[in-house]
């Protein structure tokens, strides 16, 4: 015989799911995963974004910055594509020996190769991720960086909570985006498909190109010529 209390609990959960929009249920799950500290920061970032208040997302790298870190969840897709896209952009501009670029994941499994979609989407524009191996964000990586770029609010919330002393150099990569995606999140294509990954790669390429041009204004002509040829 079924436990009546369990039956009531199940019914209550089913009713709750029907009443509460899927978006709110998703946000509740994210906050629970992040924990009390990062969860509060995430809620603040999310609410400000929904209200259209994105001043905190507009900060750019200082002109003297020469060490950049791209961070996402697992270092398999977004941060990996951003790292190698920036390496290629710097090479096109003849700046590859002047800048340090790395990527890492807050929940990476060290040693894993880039996701197949990320590898294919990058290869289609002449960027190889074959040498990429995932690594975790560490205090050493944070300390050595001039700028740390988060892809979404979950990344930023965790970074701000784990490394409060690095607050000033934790930025949103989307500050260098164009169009409606500027100052917003760069969504994780992990739960999408290859086409979603291609769109993400395009967005990342735009961001890193603008980042390099903004940091090294003299590189604008070289980068523009290469972009035109491609």
pLDDT averaged per 10 residues in sequence order, the chain, 230 residues: 53 54 91 97 97 97 97 98 98 95 98 98 98 98 98 98 98 97 98 97 98 93 71
Shared domain for 162 and 217, answered yes or no, is yes
Shared domain for 131 and 174, answered yes or no, is yes
Query: Is the residue at 2 inside a domain?
Result: no
Q: Is the Cβ–Cβ distance between 96 and 87 less than 8 Å?
A: yes
Q: Is the Cβ–Cβ distance between 115 and 133 less than 8 Å?
A: no
User: Tell me, what's the pLDDT at 8?
Assistant: 44
User: Tell me, what's the pLDDT at 15?
Assistant: 47
Shared domain for 96 and 195, answered yes or no, is yes
Query: Is the residue at 69 inside a domain?
Result: yes
Shared domain for 72 and 176, answered yes or no, is yes
Report the run of H or E that residue 23 belongs to, with start and end. Answer: helix 22-50
Tell how many helices (H) and how many strands (E) occur in the chain: 8, 4
Shared domain for 49 and 72, answered yes or no, is no
User: Tell me, what's the pLDDT at 16?
Assistant: 44
Provide the domain limits for residue 132. Answer: 65-229
Q: Is the Cβ–Cβ distance between 68 and 149 less than 8 Å?
A: yes
Shared domain for 98 and 191, answered yes or no, is yes
Number of structural domains (the chain) is: 2
Assign residue 126 a region: left if phi > 0, alpha if psi is -120 to 50, beta otherwise? Answer: left
DSSP calls for 126-169: T---TT----B--HHHHHH-SEEEESSHHHHHHHHHH-GGGGGG
């Amino acid at each position: 015989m079924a436990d009546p209390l369990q039956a009531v609990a199940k019914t209550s959960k089913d009713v709750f799911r029907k009443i509460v929009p899927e978006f709110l249920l998703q946000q509740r799950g994210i906050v629970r995963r992040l924990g009390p500290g990062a969860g509060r920061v995430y809620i603040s970032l999310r609410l400000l974004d929904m209200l259209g208040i994105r001043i905190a997302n507009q900060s750019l790298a200082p002109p003297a910055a020469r060490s950049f870190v791209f961070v996402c969840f697992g270092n398999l897709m977004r941060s990996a594509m951003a790292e190698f896209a920036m390496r290629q952009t710097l090479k096109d501009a003849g700046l590859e020996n002047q800048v340090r670029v790395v990527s890492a994941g807050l929940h990476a499994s060290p040693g894993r190769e880039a996701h197949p979609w990320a590898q294919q989407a990058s290869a289609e524009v002449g960027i190889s991720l074959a040498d990429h191996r995932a690594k975790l964000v560490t205090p050493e990586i944070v300390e050595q960086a001039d700028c740390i770029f988060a892809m979404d609010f979950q990344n930023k919330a965790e970074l701000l909570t784990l490394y409060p002393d690095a607050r000033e150099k934790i930025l949103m990569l989307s500050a260098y985006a164009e169009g409606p995606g500027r100052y917003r999140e760069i969504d994780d294509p992990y739960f999408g498909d290859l086409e979603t990954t291609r769109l993400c790669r395009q967005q990342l390429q735009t961001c890193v190109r603008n980042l390099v041009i903004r940091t090294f204004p003299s590189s604008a002509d070289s980068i523009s010529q290469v972009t035109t040829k491609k």
